Structure formats: C-alpha cells, structure tokens
Copies of this chain bind each other. A is one copy, B any other.
Amino acid sequence: MNVKIKWLRDKIKNMNMQGMIVSNPVNIKYLTNIDAEGILLLTRKENIYITDGRYIEHVQSTLTIDDEIIVTDIRSISQEDFENFFLFCENVGFEENYVTYAKYKEYMHKYKINSLVETENIIEKQRMIKDEKEIENIKKACEITDNCFTHILSYIKKGMTEKQVAEEIERYFKQNGADGLAFDTIVASGINSSMPHAIPTDKKIESGDIITIDFGCKYNGYCSDMTRTIFVDFVQDYIKPVYELVLKNQTKALRELRDGAISKNISKIVESDFNVNNYDLIHALGHSLGLEIHEMPTLSSRSEQILKENMIITDEPGIYIPGKFGVRIEDTLLITKNGAERLTKSNKDYIII
C-alpha cells in the first residue's frame, strides 16, 4: 500500500477511528498524488477515491497498483453503497477545518454515520515535516526564484508600471521550469509599499522609489516565497533606519531558528526590538509552506509550536508606515538540527537599480 495512506490508517486506528473521509484536495494530493475533484474514503477494508466522469481517466493514469486505491465514478454509487461504506464503524474521522458545516451535515446523512469525529489536522501536521523529495522540490522552486530576482533587477526600468514588472516575473517563472506562481506577485512601489498585501497597479516606477517585491513559484507542486525591498537610483535618508532595523531583525531571527526553537519566542525577539524603536510587527513573522503557500506552523507570538528538523518556514519581518512607505525582507528557510538553511539566497544589502 501507498506508504502515506498506510501511515494514515495506522494513525486513525490509534485514535480509535475505523474510517476517515478525506475531503481536502491538498491532503488528497499529498497522500495519493491525485490532482482532481473528488473524495478519498478510508473504510475498514478499502481505500476508495470517488470522483466523476471528468476525472476518471486522469486519476487512473496517476495511480499505480501499489497505491491500492479503488477509483469509482460517483454516478455508479447508490444510496445503499454510501450507507455501507462505514457500516459497523463506531467513529469516522473528517477534516473539520476543511469541511463546511453544510457538508458535515450532508456526510452524516449520506453515509449514515453516528459519530463523525474531528481529526485535528492530523494530515496537515504530518505535512509539516518535509521528506527528501519535498525538500528537493522546494529548493528547486527557491533556486528559480533567486534566478528570477537576478533577471528582474536588470529588467526593471524607470517608466515601467508595477503590473509590467509582475507580469515579467510570471513570464520568467513559466519559461524557466516552474509550474506557475505560488501566489499573486506583489510589486509595490513608492507609497504603495506601505500596504503589505498591495496589488500591482499602473503606477510607474520612478527615481527615488522604494519597491517591495514579494514573489514565489511552484515546482512539482511545491512553493517558494521571497521578498526583497529595493531602491531606484538612491535610498531616501528617512528610509535607511527602517530598512536597517528590518534587516537586522530578519538576520537575528534567522540565527535563532533551529530544531527545538519555539515559534513565539523567535517572534517576540523581533516584536520587542520593533517596539523599542516605536514600530509594530503587524503580521506574523513567518509561515510554513509546501504544497500550499501557507501551511502549519506559523511563526508568531501566539504559537507555542516547537520547530523541528525538515520544517520549511519563512522569515519575513516588515515595517509599514501608512501613506509613506514599507520595508519587508523575506527568505524561505529549511530548519536543521543546528540552525536554519537559507533556500532563497539573494542579496539583502541595499540593492539600488
């Protein structure tokens, strides 16, 4: 049997569940490599993937006999079949953080399940520790991102719009081996940089601009994430203390991150130093990524999470002054026994184009 499904079957057994309904497509992709609309049932005896006519052929071509997953067209399943899937199961797990309240009620009714129990992100928690192949994919996504940054530095010219720069990033990714974007690219220049989640506009890049570029790609389905804040022609004096404070803290967090470090402690180091300087850290210091751009754990002052070897996490402090400007610097990191390895390696000193 597929090793990940074998792991999940053992796991739910230990939690006194005799079956599970896996609905989150990202979890299904993680477990089976299937990329389609459908639902995975672990019943007492079988693993069943229920999909529809649009996907049957594609799903069959993704799976091998070793997966031991039976693929079924939803149209061939009767109400009686649904009721039999979990017959004699005392507890059946479901993903309470993915399944809507309406679906939860539908599952209860359709499968005639008495006790549909919460599984508390068991699959998402397993996904926190990346295996060798996952790390390779993320490293490759980060490498493409670094190369894209080098390219974009020579590409940007005064008079271009933020949108043009964002489009060039996307074009570069697609033509250089990435599957596509990991998330919508942020290119925020001048006062637009004061919005952490700015959407690229038709504003033209001008002399004296600060530009925040937050971008990442996917490689074999796995994400990268990097932010650099760069300057056009020169660095305005009033920006320098902010840039240096952000960079100092980004580097400080990077030095503290390692197997055994506690999420909130790392975040508090940065928050305290920002506060001393009369700034706030208005978002989390970082987040994990993998098949999704935001995964568990989060690096924040509210998280008790202990970091472990082979977790992937971003380190991205930022300071934003409404109506003026913002600075954010971000790397994707791999947590190791003795520290954190930078997977995005682009320069973080003042970059003036």
Contact = CB atoms under 8 A, between A and B. Distances in A.
A282 B99 contact: no
A97 interface: yes
Contact of A101 (B96, B171, B322): B96
Contacts of A171: 171
Stoichiometry, copies per complex: 2
A58 B198 contact: yes
A283 B96 contact: no
A80 interface: no
A196 B54 contact: yes
A14 interface: no
A124 to B, nearest CB: 12
Contacts of A199: 35
Interface string A67-109: 0000000000000000000000000001011111110110000
Interface in A145-174: 167, 171, 174
A53 interface: yes
Contact of A98 (B100, B167, B196): B100
Contacts of A183: none
Contacts of A282: 52-54
A100 B97 contact: yes
Nearest to A97: B102
A280 B101 contact: no
A283 B52 CA distance: 8
Nearest to A37: B197
Given A99-B100, A102-B96, A104-B101, A58 B283 contact: no
B104 A57 contact: no
Contact of A57 (B35, B102, B105, B322): B322
A197 B36 contact: yes
Contact of A96 (B54, B55, B100): B100
A194 B118 CA distance: 39
Given A35-B199, A55-B197, A101-B104, 4 more contacts: A53-B320, A94-B101, A99-B100, A99-B101
Interface of A: 35-36, 52-58, 94, 96-102, 104-105, 118, 167, 171, 174, 194-199, 280, 282-283, 320, 322-323
28 contacts: A36-B197, A52-B282, A52-B283, A53-B282, A53-B283, A54-B196, A54-B197, A54-B282, A55-B197, A56-B322, A57-B194, A57-B195, A57-B322, A58-B198, A94-B101, A96-B100, A96-B105, A97-B100, A97-B101, A98-B100, A99-B100, A99-B101, A100-B100, A100-B101, A101-B101, A101-B118, A102-B118, A167-B174
